Amino acid sequence: MTDDQIAVQESRIPYIALKAFSNAYKMALANGAAVLVAKDGQLLEVTEKTSIVLRSIGAYGNLKSGTRLHINKSSKQVTS
């Protein structure tokens, strides 16, 4: 493969990732699972029939690609 061919393939990664997340979201809802969604500064628990606000969330700011966020469930604090 040439560098140009690799660049073309790599440029498709965001589209493929978006499609994969969209499909996973739809499958989870179709199977009766709840999905967590961050929207308009709120954390929502979404099912096929309901959308419940769990809490307000602050903005993370600008994250670099590849940044991993660790969620501490006991204190509900997010660290990076």
Sheet of 42-46: strand order equals 35-39, 42-46, 51-56
Averaged pLDDT score across all residues of the chain = 86
Chain Cα centroid distance, residue 39: 11
Interval 3-39: pLDDT, tens:
999 999 999 999 999 999 999 999 999 999 999 998 8
CA distance 27 to 33: 9
- Tell which wins on pLDDT, 76 or 74: 74
pTM (predicted TM-score):
0.62
Q: DSSP characters for 23-75?
A: HHHHHHHHTT--EEEEETTEEEEE-SS-EEEEEE--------TT---EEETTT
